[in-house]
Chain A
């Protein structure tokens, strides 16, 4: 009598089960997102108060008679200083929120002690990051829309260009913004000191990408760093499309740079995740914090 047992997988993985896992992560993230009523505050108040710090500083620098504003307009070529600052600060907010939300997706699981058990389920592990990203993209585009509405209605910011081209530049930036988030999530889970890395990456954007000033005001060595950051092209492209009536042809250099950086960061994000997963299994450090 043959008594050999055939090893069988308990979970039958397939495209459908992967999609189901992706949906489950997406739904879980959504439930957590709306569980805390403060998300309303985050969506309604954050778009206003973060740019306000820079806008009010700009008002103070303008002086009571607005004389400084003429100098700013001449230096930047901007016709609306509020719109100019809002574009830069919103891009910074976008990258910042992605780093905290997507970048911390795995780290939060690690802190809650659920990462190891999730890791043992028969699903494609990248789904955990993709699921967190899905919710994040929806909330982030709502955030951008609310920013536009609030500044349009409350501060009279008007577009002097093509909003669809501004949207195109924004969409072209998605792969680089989220690719960076994926790479970040994987590094954080290995190196643990997550806050520091958020501060470092968002600090680079804040210093070098010209969120409140034109990059040309930076010293030459800082400008050469700025050209390696996709957010520089995103800020420049959206400002040009929304406030300087730039045409598609004029935006092509920004779009090309954003797509190239997007491909690069998506690959880096994916392969960093693969590397982290292998390393975590070898060292057994996945559940440690």
Chain B
């Protein structure tokens, strides 16, 4: 007797699964409209203390100390670009790491795992809707921030968007490995919070990495995202970059492939391990 699979997974069914996961998340997101509004204002709330703190460090509105590090005294534009990009960092961390924990809590992780689609694809699907939402929110945030604090890009914004794409894809590799950690530890809040905070802190989302303590600078320089943020600011604000921009882009693209490969490998190993342990549905 021939064993036949009930489902016939192919490229189209995988795409359909992605679409269904994204649509479900989209519906859940808009089910709570106040949450959506608060997401626009959240990043603005986080940077407001920096805005006023910057005033305490400035003379006649000029943060000259900051300019000596970054090449621009417009610290708010510098920070706003970092904030917009860190919105995406948060999306990947929460979308991949926390989404698994949500499924564990809701008791649907095991049944989702039994569906005939690739498991990394489930993780990617969980971020599609939030990436779309984050893009809309980041644009709105920049518009509101421009009115409140001032945002003065002097370079090429479209080039910056192009540079951000490989940085973001590379982040997915990181997200896979991170999701594996959540599967193992079965706790997400602290891991996601601490993980995303560390990445934001070490890659210089709010400051030039040269301001880090000297012993942390090598760690920052080892993270590809540091060059992503640096290059995006370089082309948008004409700031001084760590390396020539074309070298930073080259680094980003090559690290993107490397991170995706490492992340997928770690996830596959850990996922196999939790299935062997039988702890997938536990929380």
Contact = CB atoms under 8 A, between A and B. Distances in A.
Interface of A: 36-39, 41-42, 45-46, 49-50, 52-54, 56-69, 71-72, 75-76, 88, 111-112, 192-193, 195-196, 199-200, 203, 206-207, 210-214, 217-218
A203 B66 contact: no
20 contacts: A37-B185, A38-B187, A46-B190, A46-B194, A53-B206, A60-B207, A61-B66, A63-B64, A69-B65, A75-B55, A111-B105, A112-B105, A193-B34, A193-B35, A199-B41, A203-B42, A207-B48, A212-B49, A213-B52, A218-B52
Contacts of B112: none
B105 A193 contact: no
Interface string B47-70: 011101111111100011111111
Given A199-B42, A199-B45, A60 B211 contact: yes
A3 B223 CA distance: 81
Interface hub of B53, B66, B105, B200 (most chain A Cβ within 10 A): B53
Interface string B72-114: 0001000100000000000000000000000001000000000
Contacts of B185: 36-38
B269 to A, nearest CB: 21
A232 B211 CA distance: 29
A206 B56 contact: no
A68 B49 contact: no
A217 B55 contact: yes
Nearest to B33: A193
Contacts of B11: none
A63 B59 CA distance: 13
Interface string B191-208: 101100110110000111
A53 B189 CA distance: 19
Contacts of A217: 52, 55-56
Given A61-B53, A61-B63, A68-B66, 11 more contacts: A39-B190, A64-B210, A66-B65, A75-B56, A88-B49, A112-B105, A199-B41, A203-B41, A203-B45, A206-B46, A217-B55
B207 A57 contact: yes
Given A53-B206, A64-B68, A71 B59 contact: yes
B56 A41 contact: no
B212 interface: yes
A65 B68 contact: yes
A207 B49 contact: yes
Given A49-B197, A196-B32, A206 B54 contact: no
B57 A72 contact: yes
Nearest to B212: A56
Interface hub of A41, A58, A61, A71 (most chain B Cβ within 10 A): A61
A58 to B, nearest CB: 6
A172 to B, nearest CB: 24
B35 to A, nearest CB: 5
B126 interface: no
Given A54-B49, A65-B68, A193-B34, A60 B56 contact: no
A9 B198 CA distance: 55
